[in-house]
């Protein structure tokens, strides 16, 4: 991408910054390693620049005295291989984030820097964005003048095969689903699918009682060529999924809570934001201590709204919750590491590949956070005898200032106070116990109080089976403790202290043979079934690099897959939580 900027108001000691701390990623992830061809001029004459040796995201610029305006040219080299980074451009789709394409002057709040942006796309491409445009003139699209903050919060998706669907035809505020696909036939959406997406908008309004945008666009890529993104903004979101999300609807339910998750962020994360995460510009460090609210509660509402809108059946929502609950039952990392400490994970390792992830724990504030909010929701329902719920918290906390998108920050104390307004309780102690403890059982009180219990059977849920088939994975985490690549037996994950771990199976090794027979998922599953009745270990031949090992897998509990089973000892509160609001 070729970038040209004109910057006025420069001084002899101007410092230009490249955005480093990116909203929504909560991390110092600005792709500074992808800039090339930087050239700065004033009235056509070169201007020298030097990079700050301590802060490599800062450039010192030394224009001659009297120069008021400089021109900046550079190229942004988006990855051409997924080994370098997520793919942002193919011959059919572009995912454009403005933070990658801007150098801005130090010393200002981003919201106080006015910007006039324009964009030239390939011929015949269409784009989607929350940006508002000026009347068109030729191939260049001119956007209305706005602040740097709103520009960076308003990405552009563009492509060759696109479709724009109205998700709120009779609403006061437009909401659109902008689709960008690898192939035109992937854009086919059924009336039922469209209706479920429309329901999502209405169910969110019923929950929050407000909106914090003047229009909203889901920028949604159906592609296995570009990054499958999930990133929130005030008036739009970046969403990416399996290219067959619509055309293979019944096989792609797993993780279908993405759109509801990112939509919820318009309320929780963008409009209401943790105070220590709010920063005046992109080069001031963020602190992530409240991500268990920002992401955890968003994960909770994302799945609840997915069920309430009909994007999931109730059974699919229960099946997804069963997988989450079961994972925390077997995850070893919680033995040593408090959930609160995981809020630092984006800063420690911004989604780089890692080994032994379940022993390290990683970003558990999302899904364990979700379980804690289910715990809180069912506790409010129990204590108030069904009169109040976390829906009341959502309306009180996010429903203020309807129509405004000026961010209102919150602290831990604000969250506790808002919970107490709904239901008096020692919420500070409730939350701190769950955030700061180690070596405690998985937080499944909400499942139990919701009228269910976690059980295991030798058959996977429909949701998990479809996911394994579609993604070509084999999930044996809850039995021998591994997840495999179905095609060739490559070990994607090994649970710490599981039977496979004790047999010395390592991540990235390849299972070549089981009891002397060549690898297939069915051969392995048959061996696990057969070993249940015996004391004989399963023999594995495993390849690591170019070395082979024969391993002895001493496991006799058969296949195990998680499910939620009704538990009549508590009212079916979870059924009510997942039911559409009238
Ligand atoms: Zn999120």
- Taking only the tens place, the pLDDT of each residue in 430-475 is 999 999 999 999 999 999 999 999 999 999 999 999 999 999 999 9
DSSP 210-257: ----SSEEEEEEE-SSS---EEE-SSEEEEEE-TTTTTTGGG--TTTT
Mean of per-residue pLDDT scores for the chain: 97
Q: Compute the distance from residue 573 Cα to the ligand 1 centre, in Å.
A: 25
Q: Compute the distance from residue 267 Cα to the ligand 1 centre, in Å.
A: 11
**Cα–Cα distance between 554 and 538 in angstroms, integer?**
6
Categorize the per-residue pLDDT at 175 as very low, low, confident or very high, splitting at 50, 70 and 90: very high
Per-residue model confidence (pLDDT) at position 187: 98
Q: Compute the distance from residue 26 Cα to the ligand 1 centre, in Å.
A: 10
Is it the case that residue 236 has pLDDT exceeding 90?
yes
Q: Compute the distance from residue 299 Cα to the ligand 1 centre, in Å.
A: 7
Per-residue model confidence (pLDDT) at position 478: 98
Per-residue model confidence (pLDDT) at position 372: 98
What is the per-residue pLDDT across 116-134, written as a single tens digit (0 to 9) for each? 999 999 999 999 999 999 9
Report the share of the chain in percent with pLDDT over 70: 100
Virtual torsion, Cα 76, 81, 86, 89, nearest 10 deg: 60
Is it the case that residue 350 has pLDDT exceeding 90?
no
Ligand 1 ion local residues (Cβ < 5 A): 295
Q: Compute the distance from residue 162 Cα to the ligand 1 centre, in Å.
A: 25
**Cα–Cα distance between 545 and 16 in angstroms, integer?**
46
Per-residue model confidence (pLDDT) at position 571: 97
Per-residue model confidence (pLDDT) at position 159: 98
User: Which residues have CB under 8 Å from 568's CB, separation 6+?
Assistant: 451
CB of 115 closer than 8 Å to CB of 144: no
Q: Compute the distance from residue 25 Cα to the ligand 1 centre, in Å.
A: 9
Pairing of strands 175-181, 216-222: parallel
Cα(first)–Cα(last) distance of the chain, in Å? Answer: 47
**What's the whole-number mean pLDDT along residues 388-395?**
98
Q: Compute the distance from residue 265 Cα to the ligand 1 centre, in Å.
A: 7
Nearest to 372 by CA among 298, 306, 313: 298
What is the per-residue pLDDT across 291-331, written as a single tens digit (0 to 9) for each? 999 999 999 999 999 999 999 999 999 999 999 999 999 99
Is it the case that residue 352 has pLDDT exceeding 90?
no
Alpha-helix runs per DSSP H in 212-356: 258-264, 291-294, 296-309, 314-330, 339-342, 345-348
Q: Compute the distance from residue 258 Cα to the ligand 1 centre, in Å.
A: 9
Q: Compute the distance from residue 298 Cα to the ligand 1 centre, in Å.
A: 6
Per-residue model confidence (pLDDT) at position 164: 98
Q: In the chain, what's the furthest Cα-to-Cα distance?
A: 87
Q: Compute the distance from residue 343 Cα to the ligand 1 centre, in Å.
A: 13
Per-residue model confidence (pLDDT) at position 90: 96
Handedness of CA 346, 351, 353, 358 (dihedral sign): positive
CB of 361 closer than 8 Å to CB of 342: yes
Q: Compute the distance from residue 8 Cα to the ligand 1 centre, in Å.
A: 36
Q: Compute the distance from residue 441 Cα to the ligand 1 centre, in Å.
A: 25
Q: Compute the distance from residue 278 Cα to the ligand 1 centre, in Å.
A: 16
488 φ/ψ angles, rounded to the nearest 5 degrees: -130, 5
CB atoms within 10 A of CB 275: 14
Half-sphere exposure of 286 (CA within 13 A, CB side): 30
Per-residue model confidence (pLDDT) at position 136: 80
Per-residue model confidence (pLDDT) at position 99: 98
Q: Compute the distance from residue 262 Cα to the ligand 1 centre, in Å.
A: 6
Q: How distant, in Å, are the alpha carbons of 132, 366, 434 from that of 440?
A: 50, 18, 9
Q: Compute the distance from residue 316 Cα to the ligand 1 centre, in Å.
A: 20
Categorize the per-residue pLDDT at 344 as very low, low, confident or very high, splitting at 50, 70 and 90: very high
Per-residue model confidence (pLDDT) at position 397: 98
What is the per-residue pLDDT across 493-552, written as a single tens digit (0 to 9) for each? 999 999 999 999 999 999 999 999 999 999 999 999 999 989 999 999 999 999 999 999
**Cα–Cα distance between 252 and 47 in angstroms, integer?**
53
CB of 317 closer than 8 Å to CB of 307: yes
Q: Compute the distance from residue 297 Cα to the ligand 1 centre, in Å.
A: 9
Per-residue model confidence (pLDDT) at position 140: 93
Q: Compute the distance from residue 269 Cα to the ligand 1 centre, in Å.
A: 8
Q: Compute the distance from residue 300 Cα to the ligand 1 centre, in Å.
A: 11
Handedness of CA 280, 284, 289, 295 (dihedral sign): positive
Q: Compute the distance from residue 365 Cα to the ligand 1 centre, in Å.
A: 10
Q: Compute the distance from residue 412 Cα to the ligand 1 centre, in Å.
A: 19
Is it the case that residue 137 has pLDDT exceeding 80?
no
What is the per-residue pLDDT across 138-150, written as a single tens digit (0 to 9) for each? 889 999 999 999 9
Categorize the per-residue pLDDT at 351 as very low, low, confident or very high, splitting at 50, 70 and 90: confident
Per-residue model confidence (pLDDT) at position 264: 98
């Amino acid at each position: 991408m070729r970038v040209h900027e004109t910057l006025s108001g420069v001084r002899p000691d101007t410092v230009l910054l490249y955005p480093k701390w990116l909203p929504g990623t909560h991390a110092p992830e600005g792709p500074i390693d992808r800039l090339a061809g930087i050239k700065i001029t004033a009235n056509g004459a070169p201007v020298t620049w030097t990079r700050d040796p301590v802060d490599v995201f800062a450039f010192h610029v030394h224009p001659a005295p009297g120069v008021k305006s400089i021109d900046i040219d550079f190229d942004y080299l988006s990855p051409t291989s997924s080994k370098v980074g997520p793919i942002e451009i193919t011959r059919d789709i572009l995912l454009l984030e403005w933070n990658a394409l801007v150098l801005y002057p130090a010393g200002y709040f981003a919201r106080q820097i006015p910007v006039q942006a324009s964009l030239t796309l390939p011929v015949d491409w269409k784009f989607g964005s929350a940006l508002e445009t000026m009347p068109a003139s030729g191939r260049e699209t001119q956007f209305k003048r706005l602040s740097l903050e709103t520009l960076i919060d308003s990405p552009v998706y563009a492509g060759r095969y696109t479709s724009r669907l109205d998700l709120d035809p009779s609403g006061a505020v437009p909401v659109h689903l902008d689709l960008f696909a690898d192939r035109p036939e992937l854009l086919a959406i059924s009336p039922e699918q469209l209706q479920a997406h429309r329901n999502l908008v209405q169910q969110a309004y019923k929950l929050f009682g407000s909106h914090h945008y003047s229009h909203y666009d889901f920028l949604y890529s159906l592609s296995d060529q570009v990054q499958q993104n999930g990133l929130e903004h005030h008036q739009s979101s970046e969403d990416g999924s399996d290219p067959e999300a619509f055309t293979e609807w019944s096989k792609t339910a797993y993780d279908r809570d993405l759109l509801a998750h990112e939509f919820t962020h318009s309320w929780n994360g963008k409009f209401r934001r943790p105070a220590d995460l709010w920063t005046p510009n992109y080069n001031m460090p963020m602190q992530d201590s409240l991500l268990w609210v920002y992401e955890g509660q968003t994960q909770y509402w994302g799945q609840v709204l997915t069920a309430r809108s009909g994007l999931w059946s109730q059974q699919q929502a229960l099946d997804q919750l069963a997988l989450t609950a079961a994972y925390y039952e077997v995850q070893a990392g919680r033995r040593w590491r408090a959930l609160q400490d995981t809020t630092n994970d984006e800063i420690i390792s911004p989604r780089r590949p890692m080994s032994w992830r379940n022993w390290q724990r990683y970003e558990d504030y999302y899904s364990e956070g979700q379980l804690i909010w289910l715990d809180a929701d069912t506790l409010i329902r129990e204590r108030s005898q069904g009169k109040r719920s976390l829906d009341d918290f959502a309306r009180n906390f996010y429903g203020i200032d309807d129509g405004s998108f000026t961010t209102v920050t919150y602290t831990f104390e604000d969250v506790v106070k808002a919970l107490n307004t709904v239901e008096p309780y020692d919420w500070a102690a409730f939350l701190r116990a769950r955030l700061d403890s180690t070596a405690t059982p998985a937080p499944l009180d909400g499942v139990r109080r919701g009228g269910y219990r976690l059980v295991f059977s030798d058959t996977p849920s429909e949701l998990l089976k479809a996911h394994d088939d579609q993604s070509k994975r084999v999930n044996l985490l809850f039995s021998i403790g591994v997840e495999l690549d179905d095609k060739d037996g490559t070990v994607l994950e090994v649970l710490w202290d599981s039977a496979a771990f004790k047999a010395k199976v390592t991540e990235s090794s390849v299972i070549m043979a089981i009891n002397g027979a060549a690898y297939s998922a069915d051969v392995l599953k048959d061996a696990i079934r057969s070993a249940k009745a015996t004391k004989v270990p399963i023999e594995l031949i495993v390849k690591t690099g170019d070395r082979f090992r024969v391993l002895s897998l001493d496991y006799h509990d058969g296949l195990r897959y998680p499910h939620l089973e009704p538990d009549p000892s508590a009212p079916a509160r979870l059924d009510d939580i997942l039911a559409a609001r009238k």
